[in-house]
Structure 1
């Protein structure tokens, strides 16, 4: 089977556009509208869930069993916890990320009246010229951070008149940078790089005029960073789901920096062995650079889908990511490898042939015959 080409320029353009759209968990309408626009351009049907997640479908040669691919649109962010009398803002995180990566972040405060103000997250003691070594001694914690807003406001009354309120969403600027050597730096590559890869895979199929082997749902979730993920988005007729997320580059990890990484297990437990082996087989067949890894402190859309009671097989494929939930870096080769695997997966034959059940062939595991024999006896 000849591989379909991935439009690398399109992938890169989509990632840049996605990174420039603020979308912390709970404030994802704008990025959802953007992705819906891209699906419209590719003539891919979709619907929105009540909460605003996207459930698209690419019809295949066979309707059942249906497949699903999931990536999340939401990112880490913050929220205004309090308004201080000196015009600074207290802040708490949205999602799970360390306060040390928030220090120095450029942010936007999104007010209920439609106003958007820029600012910077800073430690309470931010000037060495004033505090000397106390700057180094202060703890790294969210209680030790505040937002300095870029407005001529140094009193609580001024902030109030501007429309700043407790509970305003705070988005963290991505500040993306694409280098000539293919590296991509910025915040929120988790998981907008996965979304861009999924859109590029869908485009490759559409450009080639091909149908996937089975009906395939493209799921864009909106609350993975707060643990909800794909819990509410699946139809009952989906038999297997492949999540896309980041693979961490770090000592003791086996993530493939310039290819795709297939996760064998994360903190929620092992992924489905049959589906995982199927994906490994696609990588070997299509000569896609890959590795296998295990993540101890990590979960994805797949875990929330299973915890919600869905009877599905799940797997996780990853693009390489250094410094996850901080100043992140990936490489375009890794994102293209993810897209290649997604295309190969959608074009692949069903996981089991018609004469096989969930743990093997009827001849090898004659469960139905055994049940009938027990009843007759």
Structure 2
């Protein structure tokens, strides 16, 4: 019988993590949050941070010959300042893959080179319904006609640069976390902070039940998944099984379900390990 999950504590951890910005390339805040949260709860699991910022730790098992690993990532989609425009607003480039229409009107935090943080909004350059035709307002959104309006008095590139904002500064989207009365959680970046939270919850359940894994189990929290190499390093050479905890695509022609665990058979790059998949 599986041990009981402490859902309240798991959700509390998740909400704290969701509210900690971590666009890919700027994840230190979230990784420190995770490291401290694990240290507070799991005395037998020391999570160490690599120079590149990923976290790993090993939960001792009854056996040591076939170590296993669980991995999830805490980096999220975001944006970066590509150009400071003459009107003082910011042209941005994507961090990770997202649709421009999904961020129209979104509140953001700009992490300036100066060390300050500024609020802003992602808007189309044709946002005014009174000044632009329907054709202009309905143009396909891309980096050429979307910009960040900064919540600061700036009307020129020089004034924006005086704020300490530079090309390359990271921009984080508002997560807008809501925990509903029916138990549903509405938020950006559940991919894959919900995955990190499920690992936290599973470890907590094992600890509270006084159980020990059959094999040494590596806990691996990566911070570069959104750019394609999140779990590319940080595992022992004799690792036997690796399971990635991440979101599952829920769409037509997918055998997936938002109310259940999905075991992924393949992605665009090819199939996953057949033996482990069938074992699961």
Question: TM-score, length-normalised on structure 2?
Answer: 0.96
Query: How far apart are the structure 1 equivalents of 2:266 and 2:109?
Result: 36
Query: How far apart are the structure 1 equivalents of 2:48 and 2:177?
Result: 30
Pair member with larger Rg: 1
Match of 2:48 in 1: 47
User: Does the residue aligned with 1:200 lie in a helix, a strand or coil?
Assistant: helix
Q: Whose RCO is larger (CA < 8 A, sep 6+)?
A: 2
Query: How far apart are the structure 2 equivalents of 1:182 and 1:215?
Result: 33
Q: Is the 8 A contact 1:128 1:135 kept in 2?
A: no
Query: How far apart are the structure 2 equivalents of 1:27 and 1:6?
Result: 31
Q: Is the 8 A contact 1:125 1:134 kept in 2?
A: no
What is the correspondence of 1:81-120 to structure 2 with a 5 Å cutoff? 81-120=82-121
- Are 1:138 and 2:139 counterparts? yes
Query: How far apart are the structure 2 equivalents of 1:46 and 1:219?
Result: 9
Give the Å deviation of 1:220.
0.1
Residue segments in structure 2 that go unaligned for 5+ positions in a row? none
Q: Is the 8 A contact 1:78 1:92 kept in 2?
A: yes
RMSD: 1.2
Match of 1:67 in 2: 68
- Are 1:247 and 2:236 counterparts? no
Q: Is the 8 A contact 2:126 2:137 kept in 1?
A: no
Residue segments in structure 1 that go unaligned for 5+ positions in a row? 280-377
Q: Is the 8 A contact 1:70 1:243 kept in 2?
A: yes
Give the Å deviation of 1:135.
4.3
User: Does the residue aligned with 1:82 lie in a helix, a strand or coil?
Assistant: strand
Query: How far apart are the structure 2 equivalents of 1:235 and 1:97?
Result: 33
- Give the 3 Å change call, closer, same or farther, for CA 164–178 of structure 1 in structure 2: same
Query: How far apart are the structure 2 equivalents of 1:197 and 1:271?
Result: 21
Q: Is the 8 A contact 1:126 1:135 kept in 2?
A: no
User: Does the residue aligned with 2:161 lie in a helix, a strand or coil?
Assistant: helix
Match of 2:15 in 1: 16
Question: TM-score, length-normalised on structure 1?
Answer: 0.72
